[in-house]
Amino acid sequence: MENKEKSLNGKTISLNKIWTIVGVTASVVVVLLLCWKAINVFLFILAGAIMSIYFHGFAELIGRMTKMTAKWSLVASVLITIVFLFGISFLIGSRVANEAVQFSEQIPGLVGDAKKYMQQDETLKSVYQQVQSSEMLQKVTPMLSGFFNSTLGLFGDIYVVLFIGIFFTATPEIYKRGMVKLLPARARGEGRRIIDLIAGNLRSWLKGMLFSMFVVFVLTSIGLLSLGLDLWLILALIAGLLSFIPNFGPVIALIPAALVALSQSPTTALWVILLYGLVQLVESNFITPLVQQELIKTPPALIIISQVFVGIWLGAWGVILATPILVIMMVLTDELYIKKQDIKEHL
């Protein structure tokens, strides 16, 4: 009887372990499903964190230049940014709005003119037919439509990101402490250090991207204006903003510019294509190497791979945020795996 009781007790313990494993597995699956369904929320959090990093980086610059306290430097960074944006909107906003309206009204005619021109040339006609018959359009269209209709819509998404960034900027330590407390007690010191390291790398990346975007905007503006192209300001703004997306952004920005130029003449379209190629050459060979002195080394091929992978997984917002996601993953891999492996090898 005693052995039977022990045997029964053994079975009871075994069943408890099984139910515990089943419960933990089910919880993990539920959490993963919730994360998958709410993946855009994590992208909004990342975008808001990047915005907060910008405000804090700008505040540090103001503090070094003016000797202001950290609190007032942060307030100044937010106010200066808002005043700058409103000033730009006041000075060129009406013109940009008019050009945007004109451009949107001209898009159907520009596309029609481009089709007619391609039908007249046998080489362009065959290329157009191959692209049209391929699965490329079927793959790109859902991504673009998903971008403009994601979650709350484009402007709703921007609104959410803006407020997340403002709250992160106002009280960053609260959120940082919350993330650190989720870690085991012995890992909290290292967790805080890694969070600070990620923030520093993202700050350096963001500074480089803003500088690159400004240079692309200025060079494109000068080039389009010298060519006498209509809607040059809105096209230059599109080029500057889309340069935030490495590799794919400049190609996307070229499409509307080429369509507008083609409506004037094929020669103008050729010059515009050459201009965008030259700007991209300058950006890739001079601006990017200068910027990467401030960054962790990010191989170009790895950026393209991450954009394709994250774009397929998360859509257009994933393509936009692929580089900062890559920066975060590289820091985590280096700190949590590579450096620990190096330490083991030297022991």
Q: pLDDT (tens digit, 0 to 9) for every residue of the chain, 347 residues total?
A: 444 444 444 444 556 667 777 777 887 777 777 766 667 778 888 888 888 888 888 888 888 888 888 888 888 888 888 787 777 666 555 555 565 566 666 666 666 666 666 666 666 556 555 555 545 445 544 544 444 444 445 556 767 777 788 788 888 888 888 888 888 888 888 889 998 888 888 888 888 888 888 999 999 999 999 988 877 888 888 888 888 887 778 888 888 888 788 777 888 888 999 999 999 888 877 777 666 655 556 677 777 788 788 777 777 777 788 888 888 888 888 888 888 887 777 76
Give the per-residue pLDDT at 4: 44
Give the per-residue pLDDT at 73: 87
Give the per-residue pLDDT at 278: 92
Q: How far apart are CA 271 and CA 277, in angstroms?
A: 10
Give the per-residue pLDDT at 220: 93
- Residue 198's Cβ-count burial label (10 Å; 0-12, 13-18, 19+) is buried
Q: Look-up: residue for tokens 């007619």?
A: 116
Angle at 259 between CA 257 and CA 260, to 5 degrees: 65
SS3 68: coil
Q: How far apart are CA 260 and CA 111, in angstroms?
A: 9
Q: How far apart are CA 252 and CA 248, in angstroms?
A: 6
pTM to 2 decimals? 0.68
How many C-beta neighbours within 10 Å does residue 6 have? Answer: 10
Give the per-residue pLDDT at 217: 92
